[in-house]
Amino acid sequence: MEKNAQSDVGIQLYVKNGTYKELIEIKSVPASGQAGGNLETTTLKSPMKTYIPDRPDTGDMDYTFNYTEANLTKVKEVCDGEEHEFLVKFQDGSGFTYTGQAQVWTNEVSVGSVVEATLHTVPSTAPEIKTSSEITSLITG
Strands 38-40, 51-53: pairing is antiparallel
Residues 113 and 75 sit within 8 Å (Cβ to Cβ): no
Residues 59-87 pLDDT 10s: 889 999 999 999 999 999 999 999 999 99
pTM (2 decimals)?
A: 0.87
Residues 86-118 pLDDT 10s: 999 999 999 999 999 999 999 999 999 999 999
**DSSP 3-state helix, strand, coil percentages of the chain (rounded to 5)?**
10, 40, 50
Residues 26 and 11 sit within 8 Å (Cβ to Cβ): yes
Strands 61-66, 12-17: pairing is unpaired
Domain positions in the chain = 12-140
Q: Give the pLDDT score at 120.
A: 97
CA distance 122 to 127: 11
1.10.20, 3.40.50, 2.60.40, 2.40.30: CATH of 12-140: 2.40.30
Question: Strand pairing partners for 62?
Answer: 120
